[in-house]
Structure 1
Amino acid sequence: MNPDYQKPGIKYLQGEWKQDSVPAQKRLVTYSLYDLKFSCDSFFMKVSTVSKVNYGADTCMGSGHWAEYIKGTYTQKQDTLHLKGEFCTANGGYKDEKTCFRYGDYEEFFKVKQIKDSLIQFTSTSNVIPINARLVKRTNCIPKPL
């Protein structure tokens, strides 16, 4: 049976987090910046990518700038954060396979290190560039009905 309400999630993550830059950003051919929002046991993530290389149709690539969105739920065991969800539209709606870029399921594991109360480092198990995210807005979990 599914629960009637969201789970409370992890307190120190609750809120909106933003990555402003990546190390050696100006020398990279392609890089991504992350905006993350944690609300109770759910997350919403915007991945803004910048590329000096045209990988495909310019209607999707936006002259080297594009964004992808992901929503889902998360869990944390010790220092490992597990995000599981699906690619979606900017407003959280269903994204079908006819749209640009990735669609369908998303799953990622991150090593999480809280640097300060307002700075967290997420290190993906599939990427060498860490995400140093600063706290933009702290929120409290108010569980919503499912």
Structure 2
Amino acid sequence: MQKPFRLSLFTVRLLAFILLLSAFSCHFNPDMQTPGQAYLQGEWQQDSIAGQKQLLNYSLYHLKFSCDSFVMTIHSYSKVNSGGDSCTSKGQWIEYCKGTYIQKHDTLHMKGLFCNADLTIKDEKSCFRYGDYDEYFKIRKKADSLIQFAGATNVIPINAHLIKRTSCVPKPL
């Protein structure tokens, strides 16, 4: 006659702990975009900055927010001759970023990657910045169609006006 199989009290408790831990530690990523911030949805443009004629270097931004995602175009200008660099065209160049954002209180965290013009991932052999884009902005709504993004790493804030309002239509990931 076989002896019945019995688990010790320790083993039962250990299995219960492991099951409980796995139930609370793992979750699936969402299969759809989240809605993001309704007031940001659309395209925003920075046309100029105060005193830009006196600055040696500056950048102007175009931002497009769609649900919880963004695409940013950075038009940079420089009066400084950096030599025979084939990346700048008479002191002007464009960079692109794409990624997702979250807002907590007055802080917007934009996290993504530097891209090529067709939004494919930029490789390290290309011009200027590549890899991760990670920036925090203090965001201040100045009017219904004017927002100020004050970057944590930039002295000059981005004052962008709304050029096209859109609404979030979540897409599958």
**Normalization by structure 2: what TM-score?**
0.82
Question: Pairwise CA RMSD of aligned residues?
Answer: 0.9
Matches within 5 A, 1:31-70: 31-55=58-82, 57-70=84-97
Measured after TM superposition, the shift of residue 54 of structure 1 is: 2.6
1:86 to 100, 113, 134: 113
Unaligned runs of 5+ in 1: none
- Larger strand percent: 1
Change (3 A) 1:73 1:38: same
Identity %: 64
TM-fit CA distance, 1:63: 1.1
Paired position in structure 2 for 1:16: 43
Q: Supply the AA of the counterpart residue of 1:127.
A: N
Aligned counterparts of 2:130 and 2:50: Cα–Cα separation in 1: 28
Larger proportion of helix = 2
Q: Which residue of 1 aligns with 2:149?
A: 122
Structure 1 104/56 Cα, relative in aligned 2: closer, same or farther at 3 Å? farther
* Structure 1 residues 69 and 56: CA distance shift in structure 2, 3 A: farther
Give 1:36 deviation, angstroms.
0.2
Give the 3-state SS of the residue equivalent to 1:46 in structure 2. Answer: strand
Q: How far, CA to CA, are the matches of 1:49 and 1:126 in structure 2? A: 16
Deviation of 1:57 after TM superposition, in Å, equals 4.1
C-alpha distance in 2, partners of 1:89/1:56?
23
Residues 26-56 of structure 1: CA deviation (Å, up to 9, x unaligned):
0000000000000000000000001001335
Give the Cα–Cα distance (whole angstroms) in 2 for the partners of residues 57 and 8 of structure 1. Answer: 45
Question: Aligned letter for 1:76?
Answer: Q
Tell whether the 8 Å contact from 1:84 to 1:106 is kept in structure 2 after alignment: yes
Q: Note if contact 1:54-1:61 (Cα within 8 Å) is conserved in structure 2.
A: no
Structure 2 vs 1, CA of residues 26 and 83 (structure 1 numbering), >3 Å: closer, same or farther? same
Give the Cα–Cα distance (whole angstroms) in 2 for the partners of residues 31 and 15 of structure 1.
24
Runs of 4+ with >6 A deviation:
none
Give 1:24 deviation, angstroms: 0.5
Partner of 1:6: 33
Q: Does 1:104 align with 2:131?
A: yes
Paired residue total: 146
